[in-house]
């Protein structure tokens, strides 16, 4: 059984068909990229998988379990974590607190532990701080961890968001344009980071416009255009696919 199965997914907003029959699957610890021109429905597909949108029809299952209809937090509880296209950090909170958010589902403490500062409270707080440091180390954050997240440079904020998602210790990580706005050096580091995340046994679905990165890192590439899936295969095959070339360059272009 695949880790994630999306079959014949459709999503419409009123008369607009944002996703029109998307089918793909992700195996354990696999990296799959979803590419396509702007407005092709990539992020909408992410939002369907993570429960932020309810698909009009089609099935989404994680290890055989149906996802549509569940709250996003319940889906996160099943082992899916994500990042957002436009960074969604908790700007006023410290960088460490941001990453602590990922540990939310792992912490065992209740209101009385917190009010009485029981040993269990102290232990779980220590644990979650250690976890936060661990994942910030893992993503290689250089900036100040104790200050507000909004004060970090852009590239560092991207890393923090990934650290937050990793602290959730997911089986499946959805990265929405993690390399957007990064410079050349930072992109190379992002590539390395994505590989190291895969090394942890985490499957990754990647939305990305940087074709160099996509071709380098993915095992499979799914191509969307106007909500329709036009290709699904190994990067080297997808790159040569006439439908993909047409979607990206237009039919009259002599690429």
**Which residues are at the interface with another protein (CB under 8 A)?**
50-52, 71-74, 76-77, 81-82, 84, 88-94, 96-97, 100-102, 104-105, 107, 109, 111, 113-115, 117, 121, 124-125, 128, 133, 136-138, 140-148, 164-165, 168
Residue 213 CB coordination number (10 Å): 20
Q: Between β-strands 228-233 and 220-225, what pairing exists: parallel, antiparallel or unpaired?
A: antiparallel
Q: Which residue has the tokens 């994680």?
A: 62
Decide whether 119 or 250 has the Cβ nearer to another protein: 119
Burial class of residue 189 (count of CB atoms within 10 Å of its CB; 0-12, 13-18, 19+)? middle
Residues 6+ apart with CB under 8 A from 117: none
Decide whether 25 or 85 has the Cβ nearer to another protein: 85
Cβ at position 83, least distance to another protein in Å: 9
Decide whether 106 or 234 has the Cβ nearer to another protein: 106
Decide whether 175 or 223 has the Cβ nearer to another protein: 175
Please work out, in degrees rounded to the nearest 5, the angle formed at the alpha carbon of residue 72 by the alpha carbons of 22 and 162. Answer: 85
Cβ at position 87, least distance to another protein in Å: 9
Distance CA 17, CA 242 (A): 24
Cβ at position 112, least distance to another protein in Å: 10
| 8 A C-beta contact, residue 29 and residue 54 | no
Decide whether 54 or 117 has the Cβ nearer to another protein: 117
| 8 A C-beta contact, residue 100 and residue 89 | no
| Distance from the Cα of residue 236 to its chain's centroid | 23
Virtual CA dihedral for 176, 36, 233, 48, nearest 10 degrees? Answer: 50
Instruction: Please give the structure tokens belonging to residue 190.
Output: 């992002």
Cβ at position 232, least distance to another protein in Å: 26
Decide whether 63 or 239 has the Cβ nearer to another protein: 63
Decide whether 116 or 243 has the Cβ nearer to another protein: 116
Residues 6+ apart with CB under 8 A from 104: none
Cβ at position 6, least distance to another protein in Å: 18
Cβ at position 231, least distance to another protein in Å: 28
Cβ at position 63, least distance to another protein in Å: 17
Nearest to 2 by CA among 20, 24, 22, 27: 27
């Amino acid at each position: 059984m695949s880790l994630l199965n999306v079959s014949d997914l459709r999503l419409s907003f009123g008369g607009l068909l944002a996703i029109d029959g998307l089918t793909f699957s992700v195996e354990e610890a696999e990296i799959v990229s979803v590419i396509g021109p702007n407005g092709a429905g990539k992020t909408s597909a992410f939002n369907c998988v993570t429960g932020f949108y309810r698909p009009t029809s089609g099935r989404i299952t994680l290890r055989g379990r149906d996802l549509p209809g569940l709250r996003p937090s319940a889906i996160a509880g099943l082992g899916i974590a994500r990042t957002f296209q436009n960074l969604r950090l908790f700007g006023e909170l410290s960088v460490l607190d941001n990453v602590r958010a990922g540990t939310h589902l792992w912490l065992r403490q209740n209101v009385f532990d917190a009010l009485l500062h029981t040993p269990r409270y102290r232990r779980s707080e220590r644990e979650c701080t250690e976890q936060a440091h661990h994942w910030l180390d893992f993503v290689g954050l250089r900036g100040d961890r104790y200050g507000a997240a909004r004060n970090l440079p852009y590239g560092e904020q991207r890393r923090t968001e990934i650290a937050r998602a990793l602290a959730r210790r997911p089986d499946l990580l959805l990265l929405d344009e993690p390399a957007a706005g990064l410079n050349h050096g930072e992109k190379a580091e992002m590539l390395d980071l994505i590989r190291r995340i895969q090394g942890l046994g985490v499957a990754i679905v990647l939305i990305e416009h940087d074709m160099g990165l996509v071709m380098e890192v993915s095992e499979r590439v799914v191509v969307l255009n106007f909500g329709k899936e036009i290709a699904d295969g190994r990067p080297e095959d997808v790159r040569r696919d006439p439908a993909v070339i047409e979607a990206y360059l237009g039919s009259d272009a002599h690429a």
